[in-house]
Amino acid sequence: MPRLDLRKLILGLALLSLVLGLGSALYSAHRVQEDLLIRNTLEANRTYAAKLADTADTFIATIERRLAYASRSLAELMGEPAALQAQARRLQQDTNSFNAVVIVDARGVVQASYPDSLALNGEQLRSEGDGQSLQRREPFVSAPYRSARGRLVVSLSQPIVDGQGRYRGYVAGAIYLQEPNILQNILGLHYYQDGSYLYVVEGQHRLIIYHPELERIGEMVLGNPAIEAVIAGQTGSMRMVNSKGVDMLAGYAPLRRTGWGVVAQRPVHATLTELDLLLRSTVLRTLPLLLASMLIVWALTRVICRPLWQLARQARHMDGMGTAYAAIEKLPAWYFEAFELKRSLLAGLSVLDNKIDRLNRDALTDPLTGLHNRRGMDAALDTWLEDGRGFAIVALDIDHFKHVNDVFGHDVGDSVLREMGALMREHARPTDLLCRPGGEEFSIFMPGTSAAGAREAAERLRRAIADHAFAVAGTVTVSLGVAELEAGDHDLERALKRADRALYQAKKDGRNRTMVAEPG
Ligand SMILES: Nc1nc2c(ncn2[C@@H]2O[C@H](COP(=O)(O)OP(=O)(O)OP(=O)(O)O)[C@@H](O)[C@H]2O)c(=O)[nH]1
């Protein structure tokens, strides 16, 4: 199984924490901004609805005044169709607020109307709005109704009363709801670029009297909480789902004079689209920073992982010869875990080195005498031969050792061998190589020594041994054979054989003596 390396792991963790951090920051920012936007939009809609309601109220008051003013002069003109017609035209054109103006007598018969295309003069009006104007005999704003010509209209009417206080009829201005009219001019000017829109409902039947979608004018809207609130005379704002199931932020305000209500609203999704765009651009702007952070983290992971890689590499190549120890000691381990790992590796390595040293020593040493065994002897001589050094060879053999073993036992024999090793060490130079290649045979190799020099040293040793009182065994003698290997001569085998032959000769000549081999 391929394993994740530390570097990728750190990078992954850094990425995860960055993404989580950024994600939660964006999420919180989104929530806070969303709340703020919704609050601000609700307040903006409320203010806008209130302002327009106010404007519309003022406008209606103005045109009511104009109608009232006109109605006063009309009483004297009743019965003069031409003069009334001129008044109707003037009223329509001067105020520029009504689609049509009618002057109706007390029986409900049209005396004058403008525009002329209506052709209503002389006609008895029977529609609901006209009937109410006639009955009420007071200033009156109608609910929407179908006019004599089938249009959906609201009308503002003023009674015509003569100097004697007699009711002579009424003058009415009609607003065609489904055609270009003054309400559209007042309400529909500036507000539709961002998904917001505004509508007006009348209070009696909840009929829409103004809406940017013309086909909705005249529609009855029931169960809309914003409409219910505004018809109840409240100014305010609310989040609500409209009749088409759209989540809306609505502000509303009533028109005091007419009982109508203005509702300004904006879909929540249109409000939050800006926020989504804002967040998207935030994310896009953050991406390069995120990328740069990841590159920095990637570079830092290298600095963090490097000591571990180096320690692992060195640990893989540990040779127990001290070089790995030195290499590991040099590695910089600048943080706690790497430092601890390095310390443990060094501790483990020094234990290992000691063990290997001891094993090496044991492998090359004769455990009884502490002198080099055959393997130790060969290893040392290999080096000497490689260096081309010349040396003398002294082969030493205990005389009648079998007899010592036989008479005193094998343990005493061993202790003789041990004492023999000690005597050899005592009489050797520090540079001499002392060996016990096997049994009761010993060898001494004397670097840079001639056969004559070696003979003298061998004699000194022989005498010292012969004079030595061995524990239990007493006197023990040795025979020695000396040979020389000249510098540059690599034929060790032959030199050893010559030393052995000299030793054999010493034995043959009566033992306890030293013989030197013939040179060459
Ligand atoms: N105690 C003891 N005896 C050993 C050891 N190694 C070899 N020997 C004995 O050394 C004796 C060597 O005997 P030989 O080679 O016959 O010769 P020697 O008795 O020394 O007689 P020469 O060499 O002819 O003087 C044998 O009896 C071996 O058992 C050892 O490690 N300890």
Summary mean pLDDT of the chain: 91
Shared domain for 62 and 181, answered yes or no, is yes
Q: Which of 260, 285, 310 is the last residue of a domain?
A: 285
Write the pLDDT tens digit of every residue in 31-73.
999 999 999 999 999 999 999 999 999 999 999 999 999 999 9
Shared domain for 390 and 505, answered yes or no, is yes
Partners of 474 in the beta sheet? 470
Q: Is residue 77 part of a domain?
A: yes
pLDDT value of position 93 = 92
Q: Which residues does 326 contact at the CB level (< 8 Å), separation at least 6? A: none
Q: Is the dihedral of CA 132, 134, 137, 140 positive or negative?
A: positive
pLDDT category of residue 1 using cuts at 50, 70 and 90: low
Write the pLDDT tens digit of every residue in 274-325.
888 999 999 999 999 999 999 999 999 999 999 999 888 888 877 655 678 8
Q: Which of 285, 313, 329 is the last residue of a domain?
A: 285
Side-chain-side CA neighbours of 444 within 13 Å: the count stands at 32
Partners of 260 in the beta sheet? 255
Q: Is residue 433 part of a domain?
A: yes
Q: Which atom of ligand 1 is nearest to the CA of 405?
A: 1
Q: Which of 252, 285, 318 is the last residue of a domain?
A: 285
Q: Which mutation among 366, 396, 402, 477 tests ligand 1's pocket best, with the greatest number of atoms within 8 A of CB?
A: 402
SS3 388: coil
Shared domain for 380 and 273, answered yes or no, is no
- Name the closest-CA residue to atom 13, ligand 1: 402
Q: Is residue 238 part of a domain?
A: yes
Q: Which residues does 268 contact at the CB level (< 8 Å), separation at least 6? A: 38, 239, 247, 248, 249
Shared domain for 97 and 224, answered yes or no, is yes
CATH code where residue 245 lies: 3.30.450.20
- Name the closest-CA residue to atom 24, ligand 1: 400
What are the tokens at 393?
A: 């060879």
Number of domains into which the chain is organized: 2
pLDDT value of position 520 = 63
Q: Is residue 207 part of a domain?
A: yes
Kindly report the pTM of this predicted structure.
0.61
ipTM of the complex: 0.95
CATH code where residue 381 lies: 3.30.70.270
DSSP 81-129: HHHHHHHHHHHHHHH---SEEEEEETTSBEEEEESGGG--TTPBP-SHH
Average pLDDT over residues 465-492: 94
- Say which range, 169-173, 330-334, 372-376, 498-502, has the weakest mean pLDDT: 330-334
What are the tokens at 385?
A: 């031969």
DSSP 441-477: EEEEEEET--HHHHHHHHHHHHHHHHH--BTTTB---
Shared domain for 141 and 259, answered yes or no, is yes
Rounded to the nearest angstrom, the distance between the alpha carbon of 405 and the centre of ligand 1 is: 7
Q: Is the dihedral of CA 175, 180, 184, 185 positive or negative?
A: negative
- Name the closest-CA residue to atom 26, ligand 1: 402
SS3 483: strand
Q: Which residue has the tokens 């018969």?
A: 109
Shared domain for 107 and 209, answered yes or no, is yes
Rounded to the nearest angstrom, the distance between the alpha carbon of 410 and the centre of ligand 1 is: 10
Q: Give CA torsion, residues 99, 103, 109, 114, to 10 deg.
A: -40
User: Could you list the active site residues?
Assistant: 440
Q: Is residue 364 part of a domain?
A: no
CB atoms < 10 A from the CB of 188, how many?
18
Q: Is residue 315 part of a domain?
A: no
Q: Are 475 and 406 in contact (CB under 8 A)?
A: no
Rounded to the nearest angstrom, the distance between the alpha carbon of 494 and the centre of ligand 1 is: 24
Q: Which atom of ligand 1 is nearest to the CA of 412?
A: 1
Q: Which atom of ligand 1 is nearest to the CA of 479?
A: 25
Q: Is residue 111 part of a domain?
A: yes
Domain that holds residue 228: 34-285
Shared domain for 281 and 379, answered yes or no, is no
Q: Is 440 in the pocket of ligand 1 (CB under 6 A)?
A: yes
Rounded to the nearest angstrom, the distance between the alpha carbon of 440 and the centre of ligand 1 is: 5
Average pLDDT over residues 124-146: 88
Q: Is 418 in the pocket of ligand 1 (CB under 6 A)?
A: no
Q: Is 203 in the pocket of ligand 1 (CB under 6 A)?
A: no
Q: Is residue 185 part of a domain?
A: yes
CA 423 to chain centre: 78
Cα of first residue to Cα of last residue in the chain, in angstroms, is: 68
Rounded to the nearest angstrom, the distance between the alpha carbon of 436 and the centre of ligand 1 is: 13
